[in-house]
Structure 1
Amino acid sequence: MSDVTSARSWTEAEARNALRQIFDAAVASAEPGAAVLRHLPHKPKGRCVVVGAGKAAAAMAAAVDAAWPDVDLSGVVVTRHGQGGSAGRIKVLEAAHPTPDAGSEQAARNILAAVQGLGPDDLVIALISGGGSALMVLPGGTMTLAEKQSVNKSLLASGATIVEMNAVRKHLSAIKGGRLALAAHPARVVTLAISDIPGDDPAAIASGPTVADPSTLAEVRDIIARYQLDLPASALAILDAGTETPKALDANNSVRIIAAPSLALAAAADAATKAGLTPLILGDAIEGESRELGIVMAGIARSVRLHGHPVKAPAVLLSGGETTVTIGKGPAGRGGRNTEFLLGFAIAMAGEADVFALAGDSDGIDGTEDAAGAIVTPDTLSRARAAGLDPRGVLAAHDSYGLFDAIGDLVRTGPTGTNVNDIRAVLIGRGAPSAD
């Protein structure tokens, strides 16, 4: 047995409190209004038109409107149903997420119309954040909204990464993949983006409506074949036409990443240090199948506890990014990326002492449910079984939300108004007892 020890064991209440403080600090670091104010460009000689799409769009727009009362300013942004509000001179629309609805299409048309007829002295501020791909939808070619919805559902269930999904979306869109910026020319376009994408690639955030698109038709065809996506004829016709997305845009355009997973994890690490834990950031761009990542993270946590590697307890392992849940053909219960990760983690840990975890989506909504995520404690599995639930069966049925709901361990924050992807924190309170 290792000689790794720690002075005391963390109580469950202490661990829960510390994990929640860490998660809340990560989310607070991406507060949209404050982030926007730190990165506003110089005021234009002419008009300023504000457009945007994403879960943080309303709060971002309100910050611009309040900061520039002396500028000739107008515009329109779209956010998720229930997350709207007033943004002064900027109109706020609402639409559906993650599956687009008629509001998504109407919002895209309004946004595209708002940037028409501008001159070189005018400025377009594009406020882009996670969720923008579904909230701002304008099907290309002869595609209908219903057909675009079917493509989106297929992508979400396929197991494709967010970057792969966005590559397909951009090539089937009349507004994404740089096409919004093309429509605004010759006005200067400054994009303020809250990243929810591994690596913070601006071309991938909300499918990059104002950014030149590096993905190609050939890559899109490979993605479709790899995941065996069944696309409608109208979508295939767009791809067969061979029209590429813009590969270059006006050199005066710029993109500023104003909040990102890496910054959120840094804030989480600061909160962990204040709580008496040694933080170790494993990465902000971790992808893969949610339940399998849970198994991997359990292995690292066990190494910390038993051997003090790669960090000594008491410690917290921090990671971000966006994992995937592959539903397959069978029926699925209620769950999301984070609760599925946590259930996989709990099963792999098998009730080992002194290890706790919290994982949640920074936007407050894990998948399509009303919780950001959940918390795992050493007795998670025993409490689930006492409630009449079979954890492995629940995981197979993708009903992780139901399990954590039944044992009272969901984390409900409500919509946060921002989105820097998932935040995962694994707390190891004490190393294994010494053999001496």
Structure 2
Amino acid sequence: MNVVNTIWHADAHDNPRQLLSKIFRAAVVAAHPELAIRSHLPVRPKGRTIVVGAGKGAAQMAAAFEKLWVGPLEGLVVTRYGFSSPCERIRVVEACHPVPDASGMEASRQLFEAVSDLGEDDLVVALITGGGSALLASPAAGLTLDDEISVNKALLASGAPISAMNTIRKHVSAIKGGRLAAAAHPARVVSLIVSDVPGDNPALVASGPTVPDATSRHDALRLIEAYGIGLPATVMAHLKSAAADAPLPADPRFMLDEVHVISSAAVALDAAAAEARRYGIEAVILSDAIEGEAREVGRIHAAIAREVAQRNRPFSKPVLILSGGETTVTLWNKGKGGRNSEFLLAFAIGIDGIEGIHALAADTDGIDGSEGNAGAFANASTVSRMRAQGVDANDMLADNDSWTAFNVVDDLFVTGPTGTNVSDLRAILVT
């Protein structure tokens, strides 16, 4: 046995949680925006450089950008409460996520103010990460902040994929769907985007404040019907009117703009796989774009892990099975938790009692849902340890109360804000 394999087997059997944590950290470091921004710096303009941005990793992007930028700059980015990072020339403001608030509405107003009265010699750099949809509260004319809050709450409870949610959001907003970039015209807008959406469509990240797409209000209405989403009458009336139409990509105001997806789930997964191989374990990536109900995706992953553990197929042990993308949760009850912990609770039920399986599911931004954990760990004993504490895993899953279930057995994974946001990382170790 060589030295690498000796290291691997020691970590796998003595402390698999520690190994999975190292793999998560490697993924997050690889997706950190500073590395990606360095190779995507735009040409310095003749006029002013204005930085705008939104998302759970926007403050870290702003700090990285001003560190790398040679020349004067100014601007404003908005991030989630508690996710700020010190900047010297770019102002950082905080707002609520995942439900909009008045601070986000004021931040949107200030972003419009920052890009007003610009000329064709000026440059706007947009730093966009996931989470920006909720942070950029800016209801369309005739709608209110309460309307936008109702829309977000209904979407979060609907089980609709992120692509559907953001298509609807952009048609009830005054800032999303390319509208912020349109307001900056005739200045050139360069968008640097850290993608957290399956498929990495930049127009879907944060509902595309600086990136238009071709979806229409009619698409939004079809999605609302398809997912049975109940929205206020005022919102529905707006969506049925031409006032909801968003600018299209062919709009001449966008002709000189540039859009760059600088980091994504694929980058993080590749780094996670490389870290596993550094410890002598083969890694396979199922996909970086998995969507669907979190509990159903969890059951499918559990079936794959069982097949490997019991029959050594379709992958040979030892192996690390990786996947990314963003699942959804349909809220049937008002328990605590996020999509990663719900995925993992269904996974834990599916591998109950099967030794040699250890898993971590976590959001790369460090926050899973509305609680303070990034995700959770699970293994063969998770469900039985919950039972010993008087908690039934199936009941917790039915109640959307995965946070409580994992908290009882001290299996929550807590990292704090990571500075990036490239969707979820699911890592399943089978030895």
User: For the superposition of Structure 1 and Structure 2, which TM-score range results when normalised by the shorter chain?
Assistant: over 0.9
Partner secondary structure for residue 240 of structure 2: helix
**Deviation of residue 183 (structure 1)?**
0.5
Matches within 5 A, 1:33-432: 33-71=34-72, 73-243=73-243, 244-248=245-249, 249=251, 250-328=254-332, 331-429=333-431
| CA deviations over 1:18-37 (Å, ceiling 9, x no partner) | 21111111111111233222
Q: Deviations over 1:44-67 (max 9, x none)?
A: 111100000001111111222222
User: Against the structure 1 CA distance between its residues 11 and 36, is the aligned structure 2 distance closer, same or farther, given a 3 Å change threshold?
Assistant: closer
Question: More deviation in 14-23 or 418-427?
Answer: 14-23
- 1:4 aligns to what? none
**1:144-193 residue CA offsets vs partner (Å, 9 max, x unmatched):** 10111011100000111111000000001111001111101111100000
State whether residues 203 and 214 of structure 1, in contact with CA within 8 Å, keep that contact through their aligned partners in structure 2.
no
Q: Which runs of 4+ in 1 moved over 6 A?
A: 7-10
Q: In 2, distance between residues paired with 1:417 and 1:9?
A: 31
**Partner SS for 1:420:** coil
Alignment-derived partner of residue 433 in structure 1: none
By how many angstroms is 1:9 displaced? Answer: 9.4
More displaced, 115-124 or 80-89? 80-89
RMSD of aligned residue pairs (Cα, Å): 1.5
**Partners in 2 of 1:212 and 1:8 — Cα distance?**
49
Q: 171-180 vs 213-222, which deviates more?
A: 213-222
C-alpha distance in 1 between matches for 2:275 and 2:398? 35
Contact persistence 1:141–1:234 (CA under 8 A): no
Tell me if structure 2 keeps the 8 A contact 1:10–1:354.
no
Tell whether the 8 Å contact from 1:9 to 1:354 is kept in structure 2 after alignment: no
Aligned-partner residue type, residue 407 of structure 1:
V
Residue pair 1:289, 1:324 contacting (<8 A) in 2 also: yes
Aligned AA (1:411) = F
Instruction: Write the deviation string for residues 337-382 of structure 1: whole angstroms up to 9, x where unpaired.
Output: 1111111011111220101100000011000011001111111111
Q: Is the CA contact 2:360–2:377 (under 8 Å) kept in the aligned structure 1?
A: yes
SS in structure 2 of the partner of residue 356 of structure 1:
strand
Provide the rounded CA distance (Å) in 1 between the counterparts of 2:302 and 2:11. 18
TM-score by length of 2: 0.95
Name the SS of the counterpart of 1:283 in structure 2: coil
What's the offset of the Cα at 1:269?
A: 0.4
Q: Which has the higher contact order (CA 8 A, sep 6+)?
A: 1
**Is the Cα–Cα contact under 8 Å of residues 197 and 322 in structure 1 kept in the other structure?**
yes
Q: Please say if residues 124 and 190 of structure 2, whose CA atoms lie closer than 8 Å, have aligned partners that are also in contact.
A: yes
3-state secondary structure, aligned to 1:85? coil
The separation in 2 between residues aligned to 1:389 and 1:85, in whole angstroms, is: 39
Distance in 2, matches of 1:210 and 1:274, equals 39
Asked if structure 2 preserves the Cα contact closer than 8 Å seen for 1:12 and 1:377, the reply is: no
Q: Which amino acid aligns with 1:211?
A: V
Q: Distance in 2 between matches of 1:240 and 1:398?
A: 34
**Larger displacement relative to structure 2 (361-370 or 295-304):** 295-304
Shift of residue 260, structure 1, vs aligned partner: 0.3
Counterpart CA distance in 1 for 2:330 and 2:136 is: 25
| Contact 1:53/1:77, CA 8 A, preserved across alignment | yes
- Distance in structure 2 (CA, Å) of the matches to 1:354 and 1:64: 44
8 Å contact 2:320–2:430 — kept in the other structure? yes
Structure 2 residue ranges without an equivalent (≥5):
1-7
TM-score normalized with structure 1 length: 0.93
Other-structure match for 2:5: none
Contact 2:289 2:324 in 1 (8 A): yes
Q: Cα distance, 1:10 vs. partner?
A: 7.2
SS in 1 for 2:15: helix
Equivalent AA in structure 1 for residue 37 of structure 2: V
Which sits farther off after the overlay, 250-259 or 164-173? 250-259
Q: Which amino acid aligns with 1:381?
A: V
Q: Which moved more, 1:225-234 or 1:47-56?
A: 225-234
Consecutive unaligned residues of structure 1, counting only runs of 5 or more, are 1-6, 430-436
* Higher mean C-alpha displacement, 361-370 vs 375-384: 375-384
Tell me how far apart the structure 1 counterparts of residues 12 and 35 of structure 2 sit (CA, whole Å). Answer: 35
Please give the alpha-carbon distance, in whole angstroms, between the structure 2 residues aligned to 1:379 and 1:418: 32
Count, aligned residues: 420
Name whichever of 164-173 and 225-234 sits farther off: 225-234
Offset of residue 303 of structure 1 = 1.8
State how far apart, in whole Å, the 2-side matches of 1:229 and 1:126 are.
31
Deviation, structure 1 residue 8: 7.0
Q: Give the share of equivalent positions with the same residue, in percent.
A: 51
What displacement does 1:69 show? 4.6
The corresponding residue for 1:31 is 32
Secondary structure, counterpart of 1:34 in structure 2 = helix
Give the partner amino acid of 2:106. Q
Q: Residue type of the partner of 1:47?
A: R
- Tell me how far apart the structure 1 counterparts of residues 9 and 119 of structure 2 sit (CA, whole Å): 66
Q: Tell whether the 8 Å contact from 1:78 to 1:107 is kept in structure 2 after alignment.
A: yes
